[in-house]
Amino acid sequence: MSISLSNVDESPVTFVEEVVLPVDQLDPNQLAGTVTVRLEGRVLAMDGGYFVEGSMEAECLLICSRCLEPVPWKGNDRFSVEMRHPLDAADEEIELGDGDLNVMFITGDQLDVGSLAAEQVMLNLPMRILCQPDCSGLCPRCGANKNHEGNCRCEPEVDPRWESLRGLQGRPS
């Protein structure tokens, strides 16, 4: 899905697009399924490129990083991105400044809505995904989800560094 940028010089182009992103376009380790993204915004012409501003709403199932259970997630944010054509000097190293970090490079006169949606979702995903703040995770021995009572029947591991103190437990002082 793309938006033609050929008429942007004459007047701004507004858009409302809904995109379904597959897991492999984002991070398969964080996502439990496809991501539905709604983008709304406008594209303005600027010297040497285009300026895209708008809002993003996304919804999907993420994977808890401790217990691997699916976690519903909804994200919404405003964005602004500068779009430019790459420089001809591809072999030359160019130092990026602070202002260059909000730049997307495009080829041709089409704005790829899927790429824009994927970038905005990745920027808004939480750093650590948890189903609940006190998630107990998986048992390292049997793999059971320790959040569900009765799933793990493993005995607690004793730290071998404390083993020499075990004999002192019943002695009077």
For the segment 74-122, what is each residue's pLDDT rounded down to a tens digit?
999 999 998 887 765 455 666 666 666 667 777 778 888 888 999 999 9
- State the pTM of this model: 0.75
User: Last residue of some domain: 83, 103, 124?
Assistant: 124
Residues 145 and 100 in one domain: no
Instruction: Mark whether 162 and 95 lie in a shared domain.
Output: no
d(CA 73, CA 80): 22
Single out the residue of 126, 36, 39 nearest to residue 81, CA to CA. Answer: 39
Per-residue pLDDT of 158-171, as tens digits, reads 788 887 787 776 66
Same domain, 33 and 63: yes
> Which residues is 49 bridged to in the sheet?
46, 84
> 131-138 long-range CB contacts below 8 Å, 24 or more apart?
131/64, 131/66, 131/67, 131/69, 131/71, 135/64, 135/66, 135/67, 136/66, 136/67, 137/66, 137/67, 138/66, 138/67, 138/68
Average pLDDT of span 30-55: 91
Q: Does 145 lie in the same domain as 110?
A: no
Per the CB < 8 A criterion, the answer to whether 82 and 111 are in contact is no
Same-domain pairing of 88 and 152: no
pLDDT tens digits, 141-150: 888 999 988 7
Domain, as residue range, for 36 = 2-124
Q: Are residues 40 and 114 in the same domain?
A: yes
44 inside domain: yes
Q: Is residue 172 part of a domain?
A: yes
| 29 and 82 share one domain | yes
| Strand ranges for 22-155 from DSSP E | 35-46, 49-63, 70-84, 103-105, 110-112
pLDDT attached to residue 99: 63
Q: What value does the CA radius of gyration of the chain take, rounded to a whole number of Å?
A: 25
Residues 55-61 have a mean pLDDT of 95
pLDDT at 121: 93
pLDDT value, residue 71: 95
Query: What percent of the chain clears pLDDT 70, i.e. is strictly above it?
Result: 88
Q: How many domains does the chain have?
A: 2
Annotate 90-119 with b (16+ C-beta within 10 A) or e (fewer).
Answer: eeeeeeeeeeeeeebebeeeebebbbbbbe
